[in-house]
Amino acid sequence: MDQKTPYLFISPALLLLIMFSLFPIVIAFVISFTDINLVGLADWSKINFIGLENYKNVLSDPIFLKSIGNTLFYVIIGVPLVIICSLGIALMINFSQAKIFQFFRLIFYTPSITNVVAVAVVWSYLYNPQFGLFNYLLSLLDLPAVPWLQDPTIAKISLIILALWRAIGVNMIIFLAALQGIPREYYEAAQLDGANRWKQLTNVTVPLLRFAIFFVTVTTMIGWLQFFEEPFVMTQGGPLDSTTSVALFIYRNGFQLSKFGYAAAGSFILFIAIIIITIVQFKIQNRHSDTQM
Amino acid sequence: MNQYAHKSRGAKWLVGIILAVGGFFMILPFIWMVLSSVKTDAEILQIPPTIWPETFTWDNFKMLFTELNFSVYLRNTLVIVLFSFIGLFLNAMAGYGFAKFSFRGKNKMFYMVLATMMIPGQVTMIPVYLILNMFGLTNTMTGIVLPGLVGAFGIFLFRQFMSTIPDELMEAARLDGASEFFIFWKIILPISRPVLAVQGILTFIAGWNSFLWPLIIANDEKYYTLSVGLSLLKGQYSSNYALQMAGSTFMVIPIILIFMMFQKYILKGFNVSGLK
């Protein structure tokens, strides 16, 4: 066998990954210390090295600080909701092997494969204060109309509801796969010890799902930290920047205002935050598995 | 499922009913979308809203193609889908390379591939735009397709699956004088059909739904994808909800149909990926 063969197989994919994933990190880091914008893009001599200026400015930019606050709001409310709902539904679907339960699996999975823009367009209509379905349903119950996307705090929650609806599917499937991997004998043993259903859930199921819960927590949290499409399509970050996420802030500065260096600095702050949060989660996970062993 | 054998029928019914109610709310937006897409724009602005359309009309769908450029968006979207299958093929090649050969730097390179999964899109999007701009590829189909062509997750899944293929198969073919590429094409790929099916469907869905990158790279309407076109439509026809619902229906229904047809492969795919 030729020594070159393996390299021939891996090199096309590897080159593309280096070109569009690894190399860009270096560029992002370098340009975050420059004032590159549309002018600099056309004429490189107009690009100046400005040190930490971008970082200083972005960290004192009131909209950036607001977008950090909003993103934390999304993460703190969204992540637990996603875990509780998708785990709860997975447990219920795992309750029976009947055909209808397999059909439910399909139903709950469907929102997560559909196009985010189409879904956001549909939900903006559902949330419409006058013509929308939600306020109409509320009026049938004699409840007052809700300003779904008009009130700064409610708008954030409305976006979370939509994102939760989309996130349940994939995470439910991950939990289902993990649930089906739990050996039956554990439950039989627990029943012999007289454990009721709730005890079985808390003492057998949940501990054995620890890795799946950890996986879903990490991926969901990274996803929420990069929350973009829903606020972009539905609210454009409004009202009063109350739904602007960090990702939307970066997009707006980079591609609508063409402040590439400034946006790159913002993106690096997000990157570092994601790395720190992920490392902390791995640390916590490790400590837990140490005490369990 | 013996562990639940003692469970009463009553409990099953209760859980079933809770799931049915929850499931109804999960698909309610789709029902509302489809029903609204065949209403007239007068009816859609009625208060109180009608659930079932009083008059059915296909005008909204026609308008997408006659007055808007949805045929162009559709063609672009299909081109992206087509190219993403080339990417799938490159992923499979790389997965095979990592699974079945030993070579210098293999582990380091594989960790590098995995590391790219952790990089958030927001960090790379500005530099990738600058790189493509340097090569004059902004506002081209190549620029839209190229950065997303291969992905670490796909390479990882192919490697996992192909590691389980016995080496003897390849050795035998080599003794018969088959070329390395022939072995990959005629032996490895056919065996890998299960993982190819999963990846193929996921690739199709991702290509069909691609939004952010085409939005950034395409300035010219002739390169817009369906998603970009639809978000544009929402801005321009912000009060014509019937038209917006028709556009959304047009984007969502094909995916749901494809998913229904191939769902058993996708759902199986989560076991293939070995999430335990």
Give residue limits of the domains in chain B.
61-271
CB atoms near residue A282 (< 10 Å): 12
Is B3's pLDDT higher than 50? Answer: no
Mean pLDDT of all residues in A60-64: 96
Residues from chain A that touch B219, judged by Cβ atoms under 8 A, are none
Is B271's pLDDT higher than 60? Answer: no
Length of chain B equals 276
Question: DSSP string covering A32-69, please?
Answer: TTB---HHHHH-GGG--B-TTHHHHHHHT-HHHHHHHH
How far is it, in rounded angstroms, from Cα B131 to Cα B217?
A: 12
**pLDDT attached to residue A194:** 86
The pLDDT mean for chain A works out to 91
Q: List CB contacts of A63: < 8 A, sequence separation 6 or more.
A: A241, A244, A249
**What is the pTM for the complete model shown?**
0.89
**pLDDT attached to residue A63:** 96
A148 vs chain B: nearest CA distance in angstroms?
Answer: 16
Quickly state the pLDDT bin for A141 (edges 50, 70, 90): very high
More confident: B22 or A289:
B22
**pLDDT attached to residue B147:** 94
Of the partner residues B45, B48, B251, the one whose CB lies closest to the CB of residue A118: B251
How far is it, in rounded angstroms, from Cα A48 to Cα A43?
A: 11
How far is it, in rounded angstroms, from Cα B123 to Cα A25?
A: 7
How far is it, in rounded angstroms, from Cα B89 to Cα B200?
A: 10
A178 vs chain B: nearest CA distance in angstroms?
Answer: 6
**pLDDT attached to residue B7:** 59
The type of residue at B41 is: D
Mean pLDDT of all residues in A146-159: 94
Classify residue A49 as exposed, middle or buried by CB count within 10 Å of its CB (0-12, 13-18, 19+): exposed
Is B262's pLDDT higher than 90? Answer: no
pLDDT in tens, B34-48: 999 999 888 888 878
B127 prior amide bond cis, ω within 30: no
The angle at the Cα of B122, spanning B117 to B125, to the nearest 5 degrees, equals 95
Query: Is the CATH code 1.10.3720.10 the one for domain B61-271?
Result: yes
Give the orientation angle of helix B241-272 with respect to helix B226-236, to 10 degrees.
Answer: 150
Quickly state the pLDDT bin for A291 (edges 50, 70, 90): low
More confident: B1 or A290:
A290
Task: Give contacts of A 41-70 with B, CB under 8 A.
Answer: 41
Residues from chain B that touch A246, judged by Cβ atoms under 8 A, are 122
The type of residue at A252 is: R
- Taking alpha carbons only, the member of A175, A281, A111, A19 closest to residue B90 is A19
A53 vs chain B: nearest CA distance in angstroms?
Answer: 18
Is A191's pLDDT higher than 70? Answer: yes
**pLDDT attached to residue B12:** 87
How far is it, in rounded angstroms, from Cα A216 to Cα A206?
A: 13
B48 prior amide bond cis, ω within 30: yes
Is A89's pLDDT higher than 60? Answer: yes
Q: List CB contacts of B185: < 8 A, sequence separation 6 or more.
A: none
**Token representation of residue B137:** 């590829």
Is A183's pLDDT higher than 90? Answer: no
**pLDDT attached to residue A1:** 58
Is A288's pLDDT higher than 80? Answer: no
Is B272's pLDDT higher than 60? Answer: no
Listed in order, strand segments (DSSP E) in chain A are none
Q: What is the DSSP letter of B75?
A: H
**pLDDT attached to residue B117:** 87
Q: List CB contacts of B228: < 8 A, sequence separation 6 or more.
A: A117, B73, B211, B214, B215, B218
Q: CA–CA distance from B221 to each of B60, B82, B139, B230, B238 (Å)? A: 21, 20, 10, 12, 19
**pLDDT attached to residue B269:** 61
A231: three-class secondary structure by DSSP:
helix
**pLDDT attached to residue B4:** 47
CB atoms near residue A52 (< 10 Å): 11
Say whether residue A84 is in contact with chain B using an 8 A CB cutoff.
no
